[in-house]
């Protein structure tokens, strides 16, 4: 039986490089600590360093919390992190209209990108859940 994976450790470590801004914490669905890391530079880089060892457990937790499906969390998160202001992640998730709005407004002037950092995992879970129901 194939083990369920929604998030990849490699992507978590890649985002950890930007972890002093909370990127890996948001990726694993830890919005509050991600926001704290954003404003404190990864708890003054100490928490950022400690997370180097916590990523495998955060990855296991995320695999249990989020729904696997046609929209890949890893691709969506990489698109959000590096191209979020252009709405490419929204287009990838099938939300073309808001993706075009993001493209024309630089991610609704940055506020939409911050919103997506807080909600992208739940957005993808909802899309994957609806897709799962349609398959049945």
Per-residue pLDDT reduced to its tens digit, 52-81 = 999 999 999 999 999 999 999 999 999 999
- Domain range list for the chain: 1-65, 69-136
- pLDDT at position 3: 67
- pLDDT at position 135: 74
pTM check: above 0.85: yes
The angle that helices 111-135 and 31-44 make with each other, rounded to 10 degrees, is 140
């Amino acid at each position: 039986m194939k083990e369920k994976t929604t998030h990849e450790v490699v992507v978590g470590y890649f985002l950890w490089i930007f972890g002093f801004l909370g990127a890996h914490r948001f990726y694993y669905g830890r919005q509050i600590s991600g926001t704290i890391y954003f404003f404190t530079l990864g708890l003054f880089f100490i928490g950022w360093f400690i997370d180097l060892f916590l990523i495998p457990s955060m990855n296991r937790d995320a695999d249990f919390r989020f729904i696997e499906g046609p929209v890949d969390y890893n691709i969506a998160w990489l698109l959000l992190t590096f191209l979020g202001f252009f709405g490419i992640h929204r287009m990838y998730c099938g939300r073309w209209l808001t993706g075009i709005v993001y493209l024309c407004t630089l991610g609704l002037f940055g506020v939409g990108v911050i919103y997506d950092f807080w909600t992208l995992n739940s957005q993808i879970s909802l899309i994957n859940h609806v897709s799962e129901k349609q398959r049945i």
